[in-house]
Amino acid sequence: MSHPLTVAAIGFWHVHAGDYAREAQQHPDTTLVAVWDDDEERGRAAAAEFGVEFVADLDALLARPDLDGVTVTTSTDQHHAVMVKAARAGKHIFTEKVLAPTVAEAEEIVTAARDARVTLVVSLPRLYDDYTQAIERILDDGTLGELTYSRVRLAHDGWVAGWLPERFGDPATAIGGALTDLGCHPAYLTRLFHRAEPVSISAGYGSVSGHPLEDNAVVTATFPGGRLGVFEASVVTAPGTFTIELLGTEAALIFGFGGDRMLAKGGAYGDDWQELPLPERAPMPFDQWVGHIHAGTTAEDNLRHALALTGLVVAANTSARAGSAVPYDAPAFAPTRA
């Protein structure tokens, strides 16, 4: 293993590809050494931007014994083939969400990484932000009482302002629209907050921009005991928003309404809204990836969330197509290294 770790950026289809390439350059224990993309013009432009080599042959790049890991930001439909190939080549993998278009493919990716004894981490950054750390502590303390309803919304103006690439609306490569990409974050947060797997999923999609995929999505997850979790996404909203509502039998909590403040009311918090302090955020996914590589450990919590997220997105897409609620079956999880 190299010191620092050598990393290649695989695919510049996704808008976060450059972010992860910069992380590889800026992290004290990684260095970016090469770029591959199935679109040679796009790949060469990215390689020039970051001052590294463009490699046209993915197999040749993955065969390099001096390459330790890859960041994967290809189109979603390529995730399974690229990551299984990278794992079998012995390369550690940091990847953009969602993990794969189907639950079966996601499980195969995790299995391939486990069998090859390589570290796989999925970028699910809002799991580790300060507001999430605060909410988890509050839920563990029980000061909200029983959580009966939640709503998490994330929206931006990508298709209003024109900065979100048109390829994000291509069903063949993107697989899904606003929910499959942006809605991933509210989806995994909703599951985290309810501390349970949903029983069923009901999704409604809309398109006001004329793209073949949804640009607005609202999903209701029904949890055991009749508790409801609503997660929403939009790429046609200006200005962008990120909000959280958690309503319990004793108190209520909100975040993001008019600023990055967390407010609580009721029960132990009293009759007026109280602003709550935010702790330090946890290590971000890229840092966790590097740490697990050096420790030789599996990012089990991250992968558990990533597999469940794929299941939630698949169920939401199925529900939206059917126009009715669908049952939710949690994906299998067995990533521990032998």
Contact call for residues 21 and 37 (beta carbons, < 8 A) = no
One domain for residues 137 and 68: no
pLDDT, the chain, mean: 96
pLDDT band at 1 (very low <50, low <70, confident <90, very high): confident
**In the prediction, which pLDDT does 3 show?**
86
The CB density around residue 90, as the number of other CB atoms within 10 Å, is 15
What DSSP designation does 29 have?
T
Q: Residue 50: inside a domain, yes or no?
A: yes
Percent with pLDDT over 90 in the chain: 96
Structure tokens at 314: 């698949």
One domain for residues 132 and 117: no
Alpha carbon distances (Å) from 61 to 7, 85, 100: 11, 11, 22
| Residue 111's CATH number | 3.40.50.720
Beta pairing partners, 36: 10
One domain for residues 257 and 130: yes
One domain for residues 115 and 131: no
Alpha-carbon distance of 297 to 254, in angstroms, equals: 36
Q: What is the mean pLDDT of residues 111-139?
A: 98
Domain closes at, from 276, 291, 310: 276
258 Cβ partners below 8 Å, 6+ apart? Answer: none
One domain for residues 223 and 161: yes
pTM for this one? 0.96
Alpha-carbon distance of 291 to 231, in angstroms, equals: 31
What DSSP designation does 321 have?
H
| Residue 220's CATH number | 3.30.360.10
* Domain span at 226: 126-276
Alpha-carbon distance of 204 to 114, in angstroms, equals: 36
| pLDDT tens sequence across 199-249 | 999 999 999 999 999 999 999 999 999 999 999 999 999 999 999 999 999
